[in-house]
Amino acid sequence: MNKEFLKMQKLAGLITENQMREMMDDEKVPLTPEVKQYIDDAIAELRNSQSDEEWAGLERAEFWGNEFGEGVWEHFQNKYKNSLDVSQEVYDYIFDKVAEYDN
């Protein structure tokens, strides 16, 4: 199913984020060493450039599951041409990495 169509349905409140991901039945960007390194570097750079309040605001805005996850997908879009999203493993890795900075 077309990612943009699903995103519009999500924005309209017709489906949830999880439903949108489940409906995307195409290939997903896997958690590879290259993807891990990109995530590690991007999160470290963001953390170093944000105040504690700004960093906390990213979580409140659900930035990690939305914009950041989409940014990872966009970065690897050419390598995984049939992908419409990143895998759940990638999302789990993102949230685990963010949690390390929160401790």
Q: Model pTM? A: 0.74
Phi/psi-derived region of residue 25, left when phi > 0, alpha when psi is between -120 and 50, beta in every other case: alpha
pLDDT at res. 2: 64
List the beta bridge partners of residue 85. 28
Sign of the Cα pseudo-torsion (32, 35, 37, 43, in order): negative
Answer yes or no: is pLDDT of 1 > 90.
no
pLDDT tier at 9, thresholds 50, 70, 90? confident
The 10s digit of each residue's pLDDT in 50-88 is 999 999 999 888 899 889 999 999 999 888 887 888 999
